[in-house]
């Protein structure tokens, strides 16, 4: 279980749309709004887990046309987010929102977040903890994933709030934006590589 927990930690903490947008909401609107948004991300992520565990995601993604369309849509969205972050200039960007996002915005992000599917598929289809008790294994995995997922996302909101409060010089803010955009591009690159590698 420790190996599984370590995998959960490292897969979730890496930058993706969920954590970067959580930090962005924290930076733009404060801790309370960030936590509301994280509640939505939490619900959305658990809906993705349900789709993965039930096989619904596999059923939908079994059609090559649907899979290619959804992959293209989600990749384009991630590239758009990376571009917005990189071009935010000297404003600390993360993933900025024009208006305060709430719980619904968080819920709606996860079904189009390719990282959510990739991470949850890897976690719930790999790491056999109880091969003879699949339901118990899924429940334990769900508990472990959420016990790690929630604090990581809360820390990202706090990180956004703290960075905004530091009032960094414009060139430092720009460097942070470039680093976050680069992280997003890395996630896109890994997704494209895993999609098309033999």
Residue ranges of E strands in the chain: none
For 44-88, the pLDDT digits (tens) are 999 999 988 888 877 776 777 877 776 677 667 667 766 766 666
What gap in Å lies between CA 70 and CA 133, rounded to an integer?
33
What are 141-190's pLDDT values in tens digits?
Answer: 999 999 999 999 999 999 888 887 777 777 877 787 777 677 667 766 76
Hey, what are 32's tokens? Answer: 């309370």
Kindly write down the DSSP assignment for every residue of 121-156, as one continuous string: HHHHHSS-S-TT-HHHHHHHHHHHHHHHHHHHHHHH
Q: Alpha-carbon distance 109 to 119, whole Å?
A: 15
Q: What is the pTM of this model?
A: 0.73
On the question of pLDDT at 191 being above 80, the answer is no
Say what the pLDDT of residue 184 is: 65
Is the pLDDT at 38 greater than 90, yes or no? yes
Sign of the dihedral defined by the CA atoms of residues 131, 136, 139, 143, in that order: negative
| Other beta carbons within 10 Å of 89 | 11
Whole-number Å distance between alpha carbons of 132 and 134: 6
Nearest to 84 by CA among 13, 177, 15, 160: 177
Give the tens place of pLDDT for each residue, 164-176.
777 777 787 778 7
Q: Domain segments of the chain: what residues?
A: 26-192
Structure tokens at 57: 């995601």
Residues 6+ apart with CB under 8 A from 88: 96, 177
pLDDT tens, position by position, 101-122: 789 888 988 887 877 887 888 7
């Amino acid at each position: 279980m420790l190996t599984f927990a370590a995998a959960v930690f490292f897969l979730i903490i890496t930058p993706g749309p969920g954590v970067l947008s959580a930090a962005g909401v924290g930076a733009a609107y404060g801790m309370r709004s960030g936590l509301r948004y994280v509640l939505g991300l939490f619900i959305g992520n658990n809906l993705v887990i349900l789709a993965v565990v039930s096989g619904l995601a596999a059923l939908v993604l079994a059609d090559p046309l649907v899979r290619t369309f959804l992959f293209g849509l989600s990749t384009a969205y991630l590239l758009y987010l990376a571009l917005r972050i990189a071009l935010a200039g000297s404003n600390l960007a993360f993933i900025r929102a024009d208006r305060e996002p709430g719980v619904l915005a968080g819920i709606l992000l996860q079904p189009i977040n390719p990282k959510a599917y990739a991470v949850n598929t890897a976690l719930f289809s790999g790491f056999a903890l109880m091969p003879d008790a699949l339901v118990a294994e899924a429940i334990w995995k769900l508990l472990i994933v959420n016990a790690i997922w929630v604090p990581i996302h809360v820390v990202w909101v706090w990180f956004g709030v703290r960075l905004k409060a530091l009032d960094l010089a414009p060139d430092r803010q720009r460097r942070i934006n470039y680093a976050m955009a680069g992280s997003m591009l890395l996630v896109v690159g890994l997704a494209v590589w895993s999609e098309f590698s033999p």
